Amino acid sequence: MFLQPQIMNTAYLLIGSNLGNKAAYLMQASVLLEIYCGKIIRKSAYYETAPWGFLEQPAFLNQAIAIETTLLPEQLMKTLLEIETKMGRIRSIELGPRNIDLDILLIDSYIIDSPTLTVPHPALPDRRFALSPMAEIAPILVHPILKKTIQELLEECKDDSDVQKKII
C-alpha cells in the first residue's frame, strides 16, 4: 500500500481581537494555529485598527499570518472556527466585538466559492486593516482574481480607516 503525498498549501490568515488582552489572544491563536493547522512561516507586526462595519466598539489588534498546511481549504476553515470556539468566541453581533477572529484571506492561487468558504476573501481589496499587514509579509503575492499584487491593492485601496503598526 502506498501513501498519497500530502499537498502543502500556503494559507494567508488575518487574526484579530478587540476585547480583553488583545495581544495575548493573538499569541494564543498563533500557538493553536501551529498545533491544529500547520507551521507558521511568516507573521506581520501587530496593527491597531479602527473597527469596521459596527463602529461602536473598541479598536482591533490585527496580524497577518502565513502558514504551511496540509489541510484542505474547507478543513482549514472548519479548524479555524473550532479554534475560535476553544478560545471562547461568542457570536452575538455581526461584525461586533470579539476576543478572537480568524479569517482566511488567500490560499495559494485557489479560487473557491462554496456555501461555507470564499477564497480569496471577497472584502480583502476594500480593507486597509487586512491589506497593511498582508503587504508586510507578502507584498508581491498576486490576488488570483484581480491579478494585482497585495502592495498594488493596498496602494489603490479607498478605505481611509486608521491603521497603525504597534510595537508590543
**Whether 98 is catalytic:** yes
Which one of 103, 108, 126, 159 is the catalytic residue?
103
Q: Which of 91, 98, 126, 160 is catalytic?
A: 98
Q: Is 108 a catalytic residue?
A: no
Question: Of 16, 22, 4, which is closest to residue 130 (Cα–Cα)?
Answer: 16
Read off the C-alpha cell for 49. 485598527
Q: Which of 130, 131, 124, 122 is nearest to 151 (CA)?
A: 131
Among 89, 108, 126, 159, the one annotated catalytic? 89
Rama region for 20: left / alpha / beta (φ>0; ψ in -120 to 50; rest): left
Beta pairing partners, 142: 149
User: Would you name the residues annotated as active-site residues?
Assistant: 89, 98, 101, 103
